[in-house]
Structure 1
């Protein structure tokens, strides 16, 4: 008869915590990517660069 492993207490807790942190980090990365690649941010950055390049010394 084969015996299956039994988990006691908080075995595997650290692994679950790491998995949750990775999923949260990935979700945050997706949100930041969507914000940075939006038209409003692109237009703002373009305007900023154009203004910086047109400054007269």
Structure 2
């Protein structure tokens, strides 16, 4: 890959990470993850 391709790939990866972080930090996703973890802990115990 050339330097320009690396730059574009790095920029795309950073943009994807920012979008993913925004989604994971949203209240709906936090609540869903909490309920999944709680259910897993209940079934394991």
Give the TM-score taking structure 2 as reference length.
0.78
Alignment of 1:1-57 (within 5 A): 14-55=2-43
Greater relative contact order (Cα < 8 A, sep 6+): 2
Give the TM-score taking structure 1 as reference length.
0.64
Unaligned runs of 5+ in 1: 1-13
Bigger helix share: 2
CA RMSD of aligned residues (A): 1.8
Unaligned runs of 5+ in 2: none
Instruction: Give the number of aligned pairs.
Output: 44
